[in-house]
Amino acid sequence: MVRNKRFHWLLSLASAGVLVLGLSGCSGDGGGETGDDGGPTKIGFVAVGPEGAWRQANEANMQETFTKEAGFELKYAPATNLDQKSQIDAFTSFVDEGVDVILLSATEGSGWEDSLKRAQEAEIPVILIDRGIEPDTTSLYVTRIAPDNLQVSKSVAGWATETFPQGANYFVLEGPAGVSVVNERNRGWNETIGAKPEFKKLGAQTANWSTEEAKSVFETVLKSNNNKVQLVFAQNDEMGLGAVLAVEEAGLVPGKDVKIATIDGTKNALEALAANKLSFVAEYNPLFGETALDVVKKVLAGEKVESYIVVPSQTFNSPEAAKTALPQRKF
């Protein structure tokens, strides 16, 4: 049975490493495996739901990939108001229903052990999409597919050290507390900037991935520091664009008086970089549906995959680079 293959494969994951897998050539051949009942393969997608342009692009890409034409029945379950309980309820429902595979994008990193153990007992493999879990018990899931947050945030930090060789006063706009990608982005940034005493941290605060919240937060930061903030690290594009609005409202020039670096690489961010309002944009590529499809096919065939599949991403450090990329931008 397919499910027995999946289960035996799942138990062998502890020794798996990390694989960098390109997005091209990952679709495999043919359609999806048939489910245990002979019908289409049932995929339960425990999703985050509305949370900005990156999330919209990522989840739309998954839905466009796991189609009926490809041999799949994708059951999309976005969280209710980013609430973890609604995700756990959806996850439990998928286990009870006996879907063939569960894709999980967790709103919070912790609190998943019981759910993952239940899926394992039911011999249903779980694939983490974008966000990891904490503690990162790799025996409880098949693989995680995502760009490398450590490397992405280190690319921002590397740009900052080159741009400010004498150091700078900086502020960090963070995503929601408890989310794995937030912890990883902080770690990557801190491992570089934390070793540079010439950089002075003025503070860090969550703005919940929101442009409006980031604008409000950074308005307060500018006022409390007499506008003496040289650098902002915004952990997503929307918050970086909120910082731009705050800088402009304070009568300062973004890109000149305050340099703002962001992560995601959406069209809006690249347009702001092209206009010199943002100074650096690190892509966090959301378009890895074909990679997920390839992994699902391998799992259903009883094949092994690596425990972390890294989605390649790029960086944009100038208006010219942004202008070159914009005509082909898909998100």
Pick the CATH number of 149-284 from 3.40.50.2300, 3.40.1180.10, 3.40.50.300, 3.20.20.70: 3.40.50.2300
Are 203 and 237 a contacting pair, CB within 8 Å?
A: no
Q: Dump pLDDT digits (tens) for 81-99.
A: 999 999 999 999 999 999 9
Q: What is the pLDDT of residue 208?
A: 95
Distance CA 135, CA 214 (A): 29
Pick the CATH number of 2-146+286-311 from 3.30.70.270, 3.40.190.170, 3.90.950.10, 3.40.50.2300: 3.40.50.2300
Q: Which of 134, 135, 137 is nearest to 120 (CA)?
A: 137
The percent of residues above 70 in pLDDT, for the chain, comes to 89
Do strands 143-146 and 126-129 pair parallel, antiparallel, or not at all (unpaired)?
Answer: parallel
Q: Tell how far CA 276 is from the center of its chain.
A: 25
pLDDT band at 52 (very low <50, low <70, confident <90, very high): confident
What are the extents of the domains in the chain?
A: 2-146+286-311, 149-284
